[in-house]
Amino acid sequence: MLVDILPLVFFAAVCLLLMAGYPVAFTLAGVSLLFAGLGVLLGVFDTAYIDLIPNRIYGILINQNLFAVPLFVFMGTMLEKSRIAEELLSNMSIVFGRFPGGLGISVIVVGMLLAASTGIVGATVVTMGILSLPTMLQAGYKPSLACGTLCATGTLGQIIPPSICLVLLGEVISNAYQQAQLNQGIFAPDFVSISDLFAGALLPGLVLVLCYAAYVFGVALFKPDHVPSVSQREAGPGGWDIIQALARGLLPPVLLMLAVLGSILLGLATATEAASVGALGAMLLAFAKRKLDRQVLHEVALETTRITSMVYLILVGATIFSSVFRGFGGDLLIESWLTGLPGGALAATLLVMLLIFLLGFILDFIEITFMVIPLVGPILLAMGLDPIWLGVMIAVNLQTSFLTPPFGFSLFYLRSVAPPTIDTGAIYRGVMPFVIMQLGLLMLLAWQPGLATWLPGVLR
């Protein structure tokens, strides 16, 4: 009996230690090797699965697609550390200042660009919280609305390309799709690429941004006491000054994003090649604005190294975890459960989505991407699900999880930089309308999968 449930005990032990706050990469590797040793002692684990680990780790280190991770991180960090994002926010406030909810819409636009360039939820929420929250509160925004807008905007990096979240998810989904076809005896499998997932996530991401902006605009119209209007004097000059603000603040970073994303979607460059263009473009943009010096470059290099090291260490730990989990037959156990559900593919998808949503309360996107999706992805894809649709659904699902009270990561990140006068309950109340919008997007994707699959089909 113990042998049969050992994979579940193994998975539960990993989750409990992660919840206790132990480092993710070392927890995944250490607990996995500990259980592997226990399995050998009990005679229920084949050491061949351990022998495969060095080759798998080497494959990770030479994977060309993953080279895009440090380059995208460098691009986003350069935009943040050189204070281009701060300048972008001030210029957006000039442009949208006369519209109802203009400041909130400016925050959403800037947060979208910053989130897309990094994809790190914590970094985006903290940065936008420091830059924008005092300004929104000083302008008279209701604290709950200001906090909700910032939390929701910070999670956009999960779904707006090009972010490292989609790079990592695209790589895992691609491998899972190939594995599903090989398991079915298809030895000339179709491929999905990171650019396919970028294309699939673009329209749902833009729909979400428009919904956020429409909500803030609607609150400003119907509840002006929550979003005070800006007088002509406070809005600043107009006419030529607005054109200058657009050209100086919005156009350069938007052109950079379009160059990176457009080259990927049009097939002119791989994700790694486009990321290198983005990294160089961010440096040139900072240099042109006279915001690049040795100190900024030093900070960007350190932050890029820190985040990249974290991603690769977690990936190595997750590789060890998945090898040991398969050695115990955990993948076969999960497959028997999912394929044995009475509702078929629909019930299996709902169950996996619920599991991923709950795990999003205790694990970050990277851990879930590397731990869970390689185990359940091939099973779901073998049931006939579209890989691009599944990838976008997982991204939106995790984005919703990171925003949902009381455990959403985004809420804790904003709490760390919010003034003490704002209570946690206000943050929870503020995010609920945005959670409802994201749940609505999930239902829309389930009802109309073409929202995720149409653009990749056109671009192929």
Each of the 460 residues of the chain gets a pLDDT tens digit; together they read: 566 678 888 888 888 888 777 888 888 899 999 999 988 888 888 888 888 889 988 988 888 888 888 888 888 888 878 877 777 777 777 677 667 778 888 888 888 877 766 666 666 777 778 778 888 888 888 999 999 998 898 888 788 888 788 888 988 999 889 888 887 777 777 888 888 999 999 999 999 999 999 999 999 888 888 887 654 434 455 556 667 666 766 778 778 888 888 888 888 888 888 889 888 988 998 888 788 888 989 998 998 898 888 888 888 888 898 889 888 888 888 888 888 888 888 899 999 999 899 888 877 788 888 888 988 989 999 888 999 999 999 999 988 988 888 777 788 888 888 888 888 888 899 999 999 999 999 999 999 999 999 999 888 7
Closest by CA to 26, choosing from 318, 317, 368, is 317
Question: Collapsing DSSP states into helix, strand and coil, what is residue 297?
Answer: helix
| Residues ≥6 apart with Cβ < 8 Å to 326 | 49
Give dist(CA 181, CA 165) in Å, integer.
24
Look-up: residue for tokens 């943009």?
285
Domain that includes residue 61, residue range: 2-459
| Residues ≥6 apart with Cβ < 8 Å to 352 | 338, 376, 380
> Global pTM?
0.87
**How many domains in the chain?**
1
- HSE-CB at 129 with a 13 A cutoff on CA atoms is 25
Cα–Cα distances in Å, from 119 out to 42, 89, 231, 345? 43, 18, 35, 30
For residue 370, count CB atoms less than 10 angstroms from its CB and return exposed for 0-12, middle for 13-18, buried for 19 or more: buried
Tokens (6 digits) for 364:
């970050």
Q: How many helices (H) and strands (E) does the chain have?
A: 24, 0
Do 322 and 375 meet the contact criterion of CB atoms below 8 Å apart?
A: yes
